[in-house]
Amino acid sequence: MGNQQSQDQTQAWWQSGVIYQIYPLTFSDGNGNGTGDISGIIRRLDYLNDGNLDSQTSLGIDAIWLSPVNDSPMIDNGYDISDYRNICPIFGTLAEFETLIAEAHQRGIRIIMDMVLNHSSNQHPWFIESSKSKDNDKSDWYIWQDPGYKDGLPNNWLSYFGGTGWTYCEAREQYYFHIFNKNQPDLNWRNPEVKAAIFDVLRYWLDKGIDGFRLDASSVYSKDQYFRDNPVKFGATDKNAYHNQHHLYDKDLPENHQIIREIRSLIDEYDDRVLIGETFIDSRLYDSTSFYGINNDELHLPFAFEFPFSPWYPGYLQREIQKKERITPEGAWPTYFLDNHDIPRHLSRWIECALCTNPQAIAKAAATLLLTMRGTPVLYYGQELGMVDFEDIPPEKLQDKAVTNSPSGEAPPNRDGARTPMQWDDSANAGFSFGKDVEPWLPVHPNYQEVNVEAAIADPDSVWHFYRSLIQSQKQSEALRQGRWRTLIHYPYEHMAYIRETDQERVLVMINFAYEQPFELDIPVERENWRVLVSNKTEAGKLIDLPETLQAFEINVLRKE
């Protein structure tokens, strides 16, 4: 493909490494109160990477992306920040966070902070001051408008969580805008004082040794200065009215790209840092690639949702890969993920899609795709175990208040099912609180006695060991880290086969998606002398000739000798 990175270009750590997302509330409880915290993460660092490539108990990831740990009233579980410069007491102290940075760095693990810059909590001192009157020092730090033409609202802009995006403030006799929950008022990025304050926050954390940021909702910083109505989509009938509009005036304006460029310029003042951004809801792949910038001067890694939302079908998945290969700008670098804190886990989506009763087989096939495509792979905690959504959490135990408190029938699905505690062992509550029988913040999935870290490490055929083998192979293969990608099948019906190659190395990846029957292997590549890197059918390290057929769900990652 024409836009692929030159193979002799020196790669940054965020291009050649594996990023692992942690949802701190449910990853590991270090102090025994049932809620995940920073001390719990520190105690689990060796599980993520103990610095030993040959370790049989360490996954071998290169960076941690932490969902927000800043001070917050937790209406949206940390995505509503009330103090950008401090750590929420739920997670621990600033000193503990500094210890986490130091301990992670000793193991070669980078730390990426989730930074919420589109909005703050309504309990942030900035908003408390801004909402008092129209003439205070921070009166213009948020987006305020007088009552308007329709039902008193300034315009037709909506909240992604359902209902209008405007909430009335009696003290000001005005409305403030919030693209999410009413407890999350949007900051006014047109105000230079706001921008300066945010940039000071970013420098504060960079000076503490943070290795980069993942920007939450990074495509909605700018809003139309004339507050024009969004056009309504013809015939649209989505239950969440947000999706029935063309969002021309409340997201992804040209000014938004200028903001990202300025943030990137700040990041570039520091050595070896990364800027990742969520290109937000209902974005098209074209939109997300625009966030690289005209001169690759915006996001290093823009997150787009087309690939994880693909059906479990090889033709569709390959189409998304090929599309991304075509439109990723020259010199830019793709990124892929399957799961995150906002969407159902991929096994829960794809098992139903494939009508398959073998989740381990799909988990290994999905892992192979994620870790052998050209781009930075991002894992979500527990993905390496084959964790699935807990779909029957009792209503009284749900914690996704931003959704549960939204207008009935319009809010997105509750996200707690994909946020349940990491399953460490088969003891009480999956060992989440280090042997203490304490009820966790969210209930543990009932399958934890079979699906857990301890059991997975003990089973050489587990999903965990398959992930670890793929990660090890990626670290040891120039082709898998930075090689070109090309498909060997124009339109795959039941299997995918593609090549990753540099001038020095060629790796062949073959995946049979069919779960009941073998599939004849007819691909234009020589059949002799391939070294097995990873396979669910053949021993690693073995020198083989290509088989005539791929067995049901057979996976092979092979290097040409």
Quote the tokens at residue 291. Answer: 């966030």
Quote the tokens at residue 16. Answer: 């050649």
Residue 347 near residue 308 (C-beta atoms within 8 A): no
| DSSP assignment letter at 545 | P
Quote the tokens at residue 221. Answer: 């910083």
DSSP-H helix ranges across 175-217: 192-207
- Amino acid 414 reads N
Quote the tokens at residue 119. Answer: 């909005």
Residue in 216, 250, 494, 554 annotated catalytic: 216
Residue in 62, 80, 250, 278 annotated catalytic: 278
Tell me how far apart the alpha carbons of residues 546 and 543 are, in angstroms, rounded to a whole number: 10
DSSP-H helix ranges across 1-144: 13-16, 38-43, 45-48, 94-106, 125-130
Mention every residue, 6+ apart, whose C-beta is less than 8 A from residue 109: 45, 48, 49, 61, 62, 63, 64
| DSSP assignment letter at 521 | -
In angstroms, how far apart are the furthest CA atoms of the chain? Answer: 77
Quote the tokens at residue 315. Answer: 């033709």
Instruction: Report in angstroms the alpha-carbon separations of 472 from 25, 136, 371, 478, 517.
Output: 29, 57, 10, 12, 30
| 216 assigned to active site | yes
| DSSP assignment letter at 89 | T
Residues carrying an active site annotation: 216, 278
